[in-house]
Amino acid sequence: MATLQVRDIDDRLYNYLKASARLQNRSISQEVITIIQNYLNCAPKPSGNATLEFIALTGAWKDDKNAEEIVDDIRSCRSNSKRFGADDGIFD
């Protein structure tokens, strides 16, 4: 069986572990192992290779317009807002 040694644990964390172990009638080592096991059993499992999943999204949004038409469409939908009360500000 492997041995794990952890150094420089904050005193508050150590005292919390000690109290938690005492409540569960465990040693501190047993308590730490139980906490790690519970965490790993509940942790979400990665569904696959994240890089491949990201690459699969490429081309997910397709448009027959070219870049200039898309930019013109975005600009035509914008309206100047005076809601911030400044005529020459960054939000005009």
28-73: pLDDT as tens digits:
999 999 999 998 888 777 677 888 878 777 766 677 888 899 888 8
Most confident of 3-12, 21-30, 35-44: 21-30
Does some domain include residue 90?
Answer: no
Question: Is 83 inside any structural domain?
Answer: no
Indicate whether 35 belongs to any domain.
yes
Whether 32 is covered by a domain: the verdict is: yes
Say which DSSP state 22 is in.
H
Taking the whole predicted model, whether its pTM rises above 0.75 is answered as no
Residue 77 has pLDDT above 70, yes or no: yes
- Round the average pLDDT of the chain to a whole number and report it: 82
Asked whether residue 55 is assigned to any structural domain, the reply reads: yes
- Mean pLDDT along residues 13-24: 94
Q: Based on the structure, what is the number of domains in the chain?
A: 1
Side chain identity at residue 50, one-letter code = A
Helices and strands in the chain, H and E counts: 4, 0
Query: With 80 as the cut, is the pLDDT of residue 6 above it?
Result: yes
Assigned domain for 86 exists:
no
Domain holding 29, by residue range, is 1-78
- On whether residue 88 sits in a domain, the answer given is no
Map tokens 């914008």 to a residue: 78
